[in-house]
Amino acid sequence: SSDCPVQTFRARDLTITRSTNLKPFSDPRTMIGSSTDHMLKVSWSSSTGWGAPEIVPYAPIPLDPAATVLHYANECFEGMKAYRNKNTGKIQVFRPDLNAKRLNMSADRIALPSFDNDEFITLLRAYVVVEERWLAWSGNAAFTEADESDFLYLRPMMIGTTPRLGLAKPNDAMLLIIACKFPSWHSRPLRLLASSPAETVRAWPGGFGFAKVGANYGPTLQYQNHAASLGYDQVLWLFDADKRYVTEAGGANFFVVWRTDDGDVELVTAPLEAKTVLDGVTRRSVIELVRERMPDIRVTERQFSVDEIAAAVDSQKIIEAFACGTAFFIAPVGEIGITGRDVKIPLKVEGKSGVYARTIKRWLEEIFYGEIDHAWGVTV
């Protein structure tokens, strides 16, 4: 009945108003960081539930200065990419079901409403189709190098919009999807600065580091700037001043490969259980692919300390380290600043990457760009 709030938005209610003033571009890469032509939005209120989704020309949204998001940070977001399939030219996204689920989980953590994952994916696909021109494609001729490094970055997000300074669950929210061009991370190996957990931590057990909420990011910038001023690319976030456990590398999950005392090769990353790291789509994919395709490697999700990394370097048991995520993709790590000492991590492939990082990167690229048929590459 009309008294009953609508529990999810429905893709079949979508309306599309196309922009009549498309942004000019000759080379899409000149538009890096700037938004595309359209945005998707759906409003929610506690009394009526979700309204009808709309794709409209990209524009500022009206927001009351008392909107809860501006005061109590009820904002969560996702980051994902759309790619051209090398063989068909069709656009695909990577494991969108995981992003949908994670957006729901993050929204729940900050008291924003839930929605149906499949309806979300259908809307996302419709949005990407509307923005198709932003993905370079040289047509049916050979897939060029420019096409290959090209992708569209998608940024779904949800905010609390109720104008009220009293601290309470918002009665109104808005879900949006915007997109932009972004540079590929084809750069040199990363230099990481291990944070000093006595001074600052990003996430802690019982906190909300596992959720992709904006409140996890703003407060990292001060220390990130400190790291940058010392010549480091990202912060390797630790928590617990005594145990100095490793969590994540900036906005990416972090993996180490080393030889254990038994002589096994082990791929290690921080566990999800402590709730101090994001359940990264790339992290999960790395773990699943290595378990499936490299059965000789021991894959371990456990707490490990930055001092174990330093010890593995000293005993030459270290093999390599890399960060991974949608933004950084698979980014080899060449150096880590650990309490005043720069520890060198081997980069056996041309001084640029480790062998495992290189192999895993290639596996993922094959799926992103449709070189192989794989269930994780979803055609839009």
DSSP code per residue over 139-190: TTSPPPHHHHT--EEEEEEEEE--B--S-S--SEEEEEEEEEB------SPE
Instruction: Write each residue from 358 to 377 as x if it is in contact with ligand PLP (CB under 6 A), else as -, in one continuous string.
Output: --------------------
Task: Note whether 156 binds ligand PLP by CB under 6 A.
Answer: no
Number of residues that bind ligand PLP (CB under 6 A): 12
Number of neighbouring beta carbons within 10 Å of residue 171:
15
Select from 115-123, 130-138, 276-284, 297-305 the region that touches ligand PLP (CB under 6 A).
Answer: 276-284
Q: Among 119, 248, 308, 335, indicate the residue that binds ligand PLP (CB under 6 A).
A: 248
Dist. CA 79–CA 34, nearest whole Å: 15
Number of neighbouring beta carbons within 10 Å of residue 276:
27
Task: Note whether 281 binds ligand PLP by CB under 6 A.
Answer: yes
φ and ψ of 215, to 5 deg: -65, -15
Grouping H, G, I as helix, E, B as strand and the rest as coil, residue 377 is strand
Q: Among 326, 333, 361, 364, indicate the residue that binds ligand PLP (CB under 6 A).
A: 326
> At its nearest, how many Å lie between ligand PLP and the CB of residue 221?
13
Task: Note whether 96 binds ligand PLP by CB under 6 A.
Answer: no
φ and ψ of 225, to 5 deg: -65, -40
Q: Do 237 and 201 meet the contact criterion of CB atoms below 8 Å apart? A: yes
Instruction: Write each residue from 37 to 76 as x if it is in contact with ligand PLP (CB under 6 A), else as -, in one continuous string.
Output: ----------------------------------------
Dist. CA 291–CA 296, nearest whole Å: 9
Q: Do 47 and 5 meet the contact criterion of CB atoms below 8 Å apart? A: yes
Task: Note whether 325 binds ligand PLP by CB under 6 A.
Answer: yes
Closer CB to ligand PLP, residue 347 or residue 364? Answer: 364
Task: Note whether 79 binds ligand PLP by CB under 6 A.
Answer: yes
Dist. CA 228–CA 248, nearest whole Å: 17
> At its nearest, how many Å lie between ligand PLP and the CB of residue 121?
15
Closer CB to ligand PLP, residue 96 or residue 280? Answer: 280
Task: Note whether 104 binds ligand PLP by CB under 6 A.
Answer: no
Closer CB to ligand PLP, residue 98 or residue 306? Answer: 98
Q: Which residues bind ligand PLP (CB under 6 A)?
A: 79, 248, 251-253, 278, 280-283, 325-326
